[in-house]
C-alpha cells in the first residue's frame, strides 16, 4: 500500500487526504494542533472543511517527524509558506520521493513558480515533481460532486501515476507534460478572480464579466508563453477551466476579496477576517514582477495591483482599462 504524507490541513489538503485515504495509508499534517486532534478524535475539520465527515482511516498530526517514512508527498501549503516549511526538512533526502503539489501561486520576491521553490529548497529531482490543478473547489470535491483536473509532470509517467492515484468515479484526472503552463494558469487565475469579484461588488453585469474572463485569459497566455508554456494548455482545465470557476463561484475566496473591495471594504479589513488564504493577493505582486521581467503587458493585473495596494478606486481602474488605446484583439 502506498504511503502518502499530505502537508496542509486547509480545506483542499483535507479533501485530498480524505479522498486518498480510502485506498492508501495517509497522514495529514496540520499546522494547528487542535485541527489534528479534531480530525483524529471526531473525524471532522470544522475549521477549514465544515459539514464533512472524514474517513475514520485518515490520521492527522502536528509533527513532521514521520515525514521521511513516506514516499509520496502531497503539498497543500499556501505558496508564500512553502519555503519556510520545507526549509525545516532540508536534511531529508527527496531523491526517491514523488511530490504532488496542489497549491497555486507565485512566490513573492523571487517570482518563482512552486516547482522552482521545491527544486531550490530540496534535492527533489525535476522528473519527480507533479502539479495537480484545475477547477476544483474543496467544498464540492469533498461532497463527491463531479470534478475534472489535470496532473502535469516533465515525466509523463509520473503524471499518469498521479492520475491513477487520485482518480475516482467523481474525480477525473487528465495528464499533461506542461508543468509551466499548468502552474502559471493556476496562479494567475486567482488575480483575475479578484477582478471578477470587484465587478460583482460594483453591481456590473454579464458583459463586463465576459470581457474580464476573455481579456484576462489573454494576459495569462501571454505571460505563460513567455515563461515557456504551451499555449494550448491555457485552453484546458488549468487555464480556462480554472479561470471560469474561480471568477464565478461562491466558493472562491479570491472572488470574495474582490467583491468586498467593490463594496467599499479595505484589503486589510477583509484579509484579517479570513480563516484561509486568498492566494491572489500575494500573487498579484509576483505577477507584476514576473510580467516586467519578461516584458509582458498585463493591464488587468496592473489595475488589480493598483486597487489593492495604491488605493485606486475600482470604478476609475475600469474606466482606465476601457479607455486605453485601441488595439487588435489578436495579431497572427
Catalytic residues: 189
Contact of 307 with 284, CB cutoff 8 Å:
no
Round to whole Å and give the CA distance between 300 and 216: 7
Percent of the chain that is helix, strand, coil (3-state, to 5): 50, 15, 35
Q: Which helix (H) or strand (E) holds 322?
A: helix 314-322
In the chain, at which residue ranges do the beta strands (DSSP E only) sit?
3-7, 25-29, 59-61, 72-75, 98-101, 129-133, 147-152, 171-176
Round to whole Å and give the CA distance between 53 and 261: 34
Angle subtended at Cα 83 by Cα 114 and Cα 225, rounded to the nearest 5 degrees: 20
- If you write DSSP's letter for every residue of 164-215 in order, what string do you get? HHH--SSEEEEEES-HHHHHHHHHHHHHHHHHHHHHHHHT--HHHHHHHHHH
150 SS3 class? strand
Contacts of 140 (CB under 8 A, 6+ apart): 147, 251
Side by side, the strands of the sheet bearing 129-133 are 59-61, 25-29, 3-7, 72-75, 98-101, 129-133, 147-152, 171-176
Round to whole Å and give the CA distance between 74 and 165: 12
Amino acid at each position: 500500500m502506498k504511503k502518502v504524507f499530505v502537508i496542509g490541513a486547509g480545506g483542499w489538503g483535507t479533501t485530498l487526504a480524505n479522498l486518498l485515504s480510502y485506498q492508501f495509508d495517509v497522514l495529514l499534517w496540520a499546522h494547528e494542533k487542535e485541527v489534528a486532534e479534531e480530525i483524529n478524535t471526531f473525524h471532522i475539520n470544522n475549521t477549514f472543511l465544515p459539514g464533512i465527515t472524514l474517513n475514520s482511516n485518515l490520521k492527522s498530526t502536528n509533527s513532521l517527524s514521520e515525514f521521511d517514512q513516506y514516499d509520496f508527498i502531497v503539498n497543500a501549503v499556501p505558496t508564500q509558506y512553502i519555503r519556510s516549511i520545507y526549509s525545516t526538512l532540508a536534511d531529508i533526502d527527496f531523491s526517491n520521493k514523488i511530490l504532488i503539489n496542489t497549491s497555486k501561486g507565485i512566490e513573492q520576491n523571487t517570482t518563482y513558480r512552486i516547482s522552482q521553490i521545491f527544486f531550490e529548497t530540496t534535492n527533489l529531482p525535476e522528473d519527480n515533481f507533479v502539479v495537480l490543478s484545475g477547477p476544483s473547489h474543496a467544498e464540492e470535491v469533498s461532497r463527491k460532486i463531479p470534478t475534472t483536473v489535470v496532473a502535469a509532470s516533465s515525466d509523463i509517467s509520473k503524471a499518469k501515476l498521479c492520475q491513477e492515484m487520485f482518480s475516482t468515479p467523481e474525480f477525473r484526472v487528465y495528464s499533461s507534460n506542461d508543468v509551466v503552463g499548468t502552474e502559471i494558469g493556476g496562479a494567475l487565475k486567482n488575480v483575475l478572480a479578484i477582478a471578477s469579484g470587484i465587478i460583482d461588488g460594483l453591481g456590473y453585469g454579464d458583459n463586463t464579466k465576459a470581457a474580464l474572463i476573455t481579456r484576462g485569459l489573454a494576459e495569462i497566455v501571454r505571460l505563460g508563453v513567455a515563461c515557456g508554456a504551451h499555449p494550448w494548455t491555457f485552453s484546458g482545465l488549468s487555464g480556462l477551466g480554472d479561470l471560469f470557476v474561480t471568477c464565478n463561484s461562491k466558493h472562491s475566496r479570491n472572488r470574495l476579496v474582490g467583491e468586498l473591495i467593490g463594496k467599499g471594504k479595505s484589503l486589510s479589513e477583509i484579509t484579517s477576517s479570513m480563516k484561509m488564504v486568498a492566494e491572489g493577493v500575494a500573487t498579484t505582486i509576483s505577477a507584476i514582477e514576473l510580467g516586467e521581467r519578461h516584458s509582458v503587458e498585463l493591464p488587468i493585473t496592473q489595475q488589480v495591483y493598483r486597487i489593492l495596494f495604491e488605493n485606486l478606486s475600482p470604478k476609475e481602474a475600469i474606466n482606465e482599462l476601457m479607455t486605453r488605446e485601441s488595439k487588435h484583439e489578436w495579431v497572427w
